Amino acid sequence: MPARGKIALPVQQIVSGMIDPLATGLSLRAKERMRSMTNAEARARSSLLDLLWNSPMLLLGLTALMWGGNSVAGRLAVGEISPMALVFWRWGVACIPLLIAARANLSADLGLILPRWRYIAPASVFGFTAFNALFYTAAHRTSAVNISILQGLIPGLVVIGAWSFFGIGLRLLQAVGVLITMAGVVVIAARGDWATLRTLDFNLGDVMMIVAAVLYAGYILLLRQRPAVSSIGLFASMAVVAFVTSAPLFALEIAEGAFFWPSAKGLAVLAYVALFPSLIAQIFFIRGVQLIGPSRAGVFVNLVPIFGALLAVAVLGEPFALYHAAALCLVVAGLWTAERSARA
């Protein structure tokens, strides 16, 4: 962070250059007062940034809010920007500032990242490319409320995957928590109508989100094989892989005639998803993990379904039916039960 004096100096020069020719009679005391006010403003801004950067609860709460807002962005994108264009350009835009910020780390990390490409590349494809492709396509077929709640399936799938593929012990309360979460997903998929389960007449968008959740859980499990490198260096490498691997999907969208140039609203959605869920939220989450550790930081991910559902109702005016409330309660209760068991 620049020194405080260096933050204030350009402002002082601009103010002085504008006022001095018009205020030759201005006293030295008045000029000094103006400089003091400018310095005070700079100190206030610096203090606010320091407060944010050193407050894990605020950082992680904002992270969950930005990730929850991605569900709303997916719905807002419908008819404004095509899904694969959004995925491709999202990572293209996010890579620019990310590579600049991570350039020092990458020069040291690439020697360890490249030998592990068999794990890093699939993890990026699962978690960044395929997940988002399904996510934004599902947004054309289901509500942001459903998308948000179905993301609550991910932690339970990670627990099941860790037990199935890595032999990590599964406690009784964890298993109960996973089952409760699954029950919430069933309620959403059935739309509160048990006849849907008998006919298997599921909404295609909901099914896409369940598959996307499975892929994202696979991404998290593959991160167990991550090399011992900086978080931002690893994230930058995976973002580049996502940008490259999303290009064929974008090309296929163009070939099928499904691509269209984004509207002004579509560009605003692109700017949001590229800068907030993709970049700023990731940086905030990494900082939060540094401050309080991965276990405590991971709890905040459970807020994403809640924030997403609330934003969908508040911003989009989507209906929030009784079965949505039941499903959200089941998902949150399941996550809390599994988390409590893991921390016991």
pLDDT at 200: 62
pLDDT at 141: 94
Instruction: Summarize the confidence of residues 263-277 as an average pLDDT.
Output: 96
- The domain boundary, picked from 17, 36, 53, lies at 53
Residue 197 — very low, low, confident or very high, per pLDDT cuts 50/70/90?
low
Q: Report pTM.
A: 0.79
Do both 171 and 193 map to the same domain?
A: yes
pLDDT at 205: 93
Instruction: Summarize the confidence of residues 301-330 as an average pLDDT.
Output: 88
pLDDT tens column, 2-44: 443 333 333 333 333 333 333 344 344 454 555 555 666 666 6
- The domain boundary, picked from 53, 78, 94, lies at 53
Do both 37 and 161 map to the same domain?
A: no
CB atoms within 10 A of CB 214: 18
Do both 161 and 310 map to the same domain?
A: yes
Do both 153 and 123 map to the same domain?
A: yes
Mean pLDDT comparison of 111-120, 246-255, 313-322, highest-scoring range? 246-255
* 302 pLDDT more than 50: yes
pLDDT at 22: 36
Residue 158 — very low, low, confident or very high, per pLDDT cuts 50/70/90?
confident
Q: Exposed (0-12), middle (13-18) or buried (19+): which is 275, by Cβ within 10 Å?
A: middle
159 vs 33: which has the higher pLDDT:
159
Residue 232 — very low, low, confident or very high, per pLDDT cuts 50/70/90?
confident
> Domain residues for 269?
57-343
Please give the structure tokens belonging to residue 306: 């809640």
**Distance (Å, rounded) from C-alpha 285 to C-alpha 303?**
13
Instruction: Summarize the confidence of residues 310-335 as an average pLDDT.
Output: 87
pLDDT at 127: 93
CA nearest neighbour of 70 among 130, 168, 144: 144
Do both 141 and 287 map to the same domain?
A: yes
Do both 299 and 200 map to the same domain?
A: yes
pLDDT tens column, 73-120: 999 999 999 999 999 999 999 999 999 988 888 888 989 999 989 988
* 133 pLDDT more than 90: yes
Instruction: Please state, for a pLDDT cut of 70, what percent of the chain lies above it.
Output: 81
**Distance (Å, rounded) from C-alpha 199 to C-alpha 177?**
27
CA nearest neighbour of 338 among 148, 173, 143, 151: 173
Residue 223 — very low, low, confident or very high, per pLDDT cuts 50/70/90?
confident
Domain count, the chain: 2
Do both 259 and 234 map to the same domain?
A: yes
**Distance (Å, rounded) from C-alpha 6 to C-alpha 8?**
5
* 292 pLDDT more than 50: yes
* 214 pLDDT more than 80: yes
CB 146 within 8 A of CB 188: yes
Do both 288 and 316 map to the same domain?
A: yes
Do both 103 and 231 map to the same domain?
A: yes
Cα angle 51, 290, 170; round to 5: 130
Do both 41 and 183 map to the same domain?
A: no
* 139 pLDDT more than 90: yes
* 309 pLDDT more than 70: yes
* 69 pLDDT more than 70: yes
pLDDT at 76: 97
CB atoms within 10 A of CB 289: 18
3 state DSSP class of 340: helix
Do both 15 and 161 map to the same domain?
A: no
Do both 16 and 89 map to the same domain?
A: no
Chain-centroid distance, C-alpha 49:
21
Please give the structure tokens belonging to residue 127: 């978690």
